[in-house]
Amino acid sequence: MTEQFLHYIWKFQLFEQNSLQCESGESLQIIKAGTPNTDAGPDFFNTKIKIGSTLWAGNVEIHINSSDWEKHSHQKDAAYDNVILHVVFNHDKNVVRKNGQELHVLTLQEKINDSLYAKYCHFLSNKLWIPCANHISEVDVFTVDNWLERLLIERLERKSSAIVEMLERHKNDWAEVFYIFLARNFGFKVNAEPMELLAKSLPFSVIGKHRDNLLQVEALLLGQAGFLEENFADDYPNQLKKEYDFLKNKFKLQPLDKSLLKFLRLRPPNFPTIRISQLANLIHRSSSLFSKIIEAKNSAAIIELFQVETSEYWRTHYVFDKHSSERKKQLGESAVNGILINTVAPFLFVYGQQKGEDVFKTNAFKLLENLPEEKNAIINRWKELNISARDAYRSQALLQLKNEYCNAKKCLHCAIGNKILRFSQNDK
């Protein structure tokens, strides 16, 4: 038995309630289970019960054994003096509050449905891809869809926390913080960290002053990445180097070690040189990029902002001084979608939160609804269970469900797991 399960049982009142009695023999009627407490103190607040003929309002504390009250030193803590009921699985000792009054105790050991607990134990112990893989087909579409809507919001809120933290560090400079997160996203998985370091080493206020000159923007980014510290055979990198050397001295810049950015095991279109050139073009093409995103009338207008390619030199190169067959190197659809999902949508959501304007949060949802589902192993496995993603809105929610609930076996906190367990409650 776990306290987490007992919390779940109490919250949803999933136990036999006919002729309830306290351990003292007095009749017990539960009027209101109360509100779960996620902070220190009793487990449930604002509970209402009737013991005998007396109406009680206060808090509930839950333990496996009643003696756990003393193990946790609650008898010494005045914060627990308003506990009106001690809910336990096993009553092994009478205990008192700090003021010396004995607690009313409800014992659940004989009141919990055996099949409910058995299925909960199965969820915890099985090795399936998700604990409820054998039962999820029993859950109605309405429950699944509603839960995924909540999970999408939860995922955006989780991503929001890093944005809010950085906004605080940068005095609410939205353009600067968006630029840092955008650069990180241009590194995708392998080069995310070094691309973030690159952006932090080159303030947006600096690069913004030269935004109208593509050569200078590219020189600043490639130079700060450490790629312009040598001599070259080609004219173009030597032009970049000349520009960068001047700007580096002007702004007292310190380049990164170029070894931070990885090429190994990357497909050439994903080389950091290519991604940096595409980022440079995006900055050059779109003055006030973040403002344009905020002001965009629809998702199509936002998507259009990210239709960029490299500068001309990179059409025939992937690295400096090594010629390759000519190819236009646009930011591909999957790369654009990844940026929109992981950077643009969270920023719209946070902007709406910070400004108290729900229209921007709605725009984040609409953007995700207008993007195709993500292609990855997790989404493929959900499809095998007949849970389709359909769009980025649902694929993001499904990633949240798998990573934050299924992997951690938080079935008691999951609407789908909850529904399956409730089926067990009705088993005879």
The predicted-structure confidence for 226-255, as pLDDT tens digits, reads as follows 999 999 999 999 999 999 999 999 999 999
Say if residue 206 is in the same domain as residue 343: yes
The predicted-structure confidence for 323-379, as pLDDT tens digits, reads as follows 999 999 999 999 999 999 999 999 999 999 999 999 999 999 999 999 999 999 999
Helix (H, G, I), strand (E, B) or coil at 177: helix
Chain centroid offset of residue 389 CA: 17
**Domain-located, residue 314:** yes
Say if residue 104 is in the same domain as residue 176: no
β-pair type (105-107, 83-90): parallel
**Domain-located, residue 160:** no
Say if residue 187 is in the same domain as residue 70: no
Percent of the chain at pLDDT above 90? 88
CA angle 355, 360, 361 (to 5 degrees): 100
Say if residue 174 is in the same domain as residue 107: no
Say if residue 312 is in the same domain as residue 236: yes
Q: How many CB atoms lie within 10 A of CB 99?
A: 9
Report the alpha-carbon distance of residue 104 to residue 259 in Å, rounded. 66
pLDDT range class, residue 428, cuts 50, 70, 90: very low
What value does the mean pLDDT of the chain take? Answer: 94
Quote the number of domains for the chain.
Answer: 2
**Domain-located, residue 379:** no
**Domain-located, residue 269:** yes
The predicted-structure confidence for 79-113, as pLDDT tens digits, reads as follows 899 999 999 999 999 999 998 889 999 999 999 88
Boundary residue ending a domain (348, 369, 390): 369
The predicted-structure confidence for 349-364, as pLDDT tens digits, reads as follows 999 999 999 999 999 9
Rg (CA), the chain: 29
Q: How far is CA 293 from CA 309, 364, 399, in A?
A: 19, 11, 25
Domain that holds residue 8: 3-112
Burial 241-273 (b: 16+ CB within 10 A, else e): bebbeebbeeeebebbeeeebeeeebeebbbbb
Nearest to 302 by CA among 357, 390, 369: 369
Boundary residue ending a domain (91, 112, 133): 112
Nearest to 295 by CA among 360, 371, 362: 360
Say if residue 206 is in the same domain as residue 282: yes
Boundary residue ending a domain (92, 112, 132): 112
Say if residue 229 is in the same domain as residue 343: yes
Say if residue 310 is in the same domain as residue 197: yes
Percent of the chain at pLDDT above 70? 99
**Domain-located, residue 28:** yes
pLDDT range class, residue 313, cuts 50, 70, 90: very high
Question: Does 59 have pLDDT greater than 50?
Answer: yes
Question: Does 424 have pLDDT greater than 70?
Answer: no
Nearest to 187 by CA among 173, 199, 174: 199
Write down the pLDDT at residue 421.
87
Say if residue 55 is in the same domain as residue 196: no
Bridge partners (DSSP) listed for residue 55: 50
Say if residue 187 is in the same domain as residue 296: yes
Nearest to 293 by CA among 343, 239, 344: 344
- Residue 154 class from Cβ within 10 Å (0-12 exposed, 13-18 middle, 19+ buried)? middle
Tell me which of 62-71, 117-126, 159-168 is least confident.
Answer: 117-126
Q: What is the mean pLDDT of residues 313-317?
A: 98
- Residue 114 class from Cβ within 10 Å (0-12 exposed, 13-18 middle, 19+ buried)? exposed
Question: Does 427 have pLDDT greater than 70?
Answer: no
Report the alpha-carbon distance of residue 222 to residue 317 in Å, rounded. 14
**Domain-located, residue 103:** yes
Question: Does 295 have pLDDT greater than 60?
Answer: yes
Report the alpha-carbon distance of residue 147 to residue 220 in Å, rounded. 46
Report the alpha-carbon distance of residue 86 to residue 107 in Å, rounded. 9
**Domain-located, residue 284:** yes
| pTM given for the model | 0.83
Report the alpha-carbon distance of residue 288 to residue 181 in Å, rounded. 15
Helix (H, G, I), strand (E, B) or coil at 137: helix
Q: What is the mean pLDDT of residues 6-12?
A: 92
CB within 8 Å of 103: residues ≥ 6 apart: 69, 83, 85, 86, 94, 95, 96, 97
Dihedral sign (CA 134, 135, 137, 143):
negative
Say if residue 312 is in the same domain as residue 184: yes
The predicted-structure confidence for 138-165, as pLDDT tens digits, reads as follows 999 999 999 999 999 999 999 999 999 9
Say if residue 333 is in the same domain as residue 193: yes
Report the alpha-carbon distance of residue 147 to residue 180 in Å, rounded. 32
**Domain-located, residue 416:** no
Question: Does 65 have pLDDT greater than 70?
Answer: yes
Write down the pLDDT at residue 89.
96
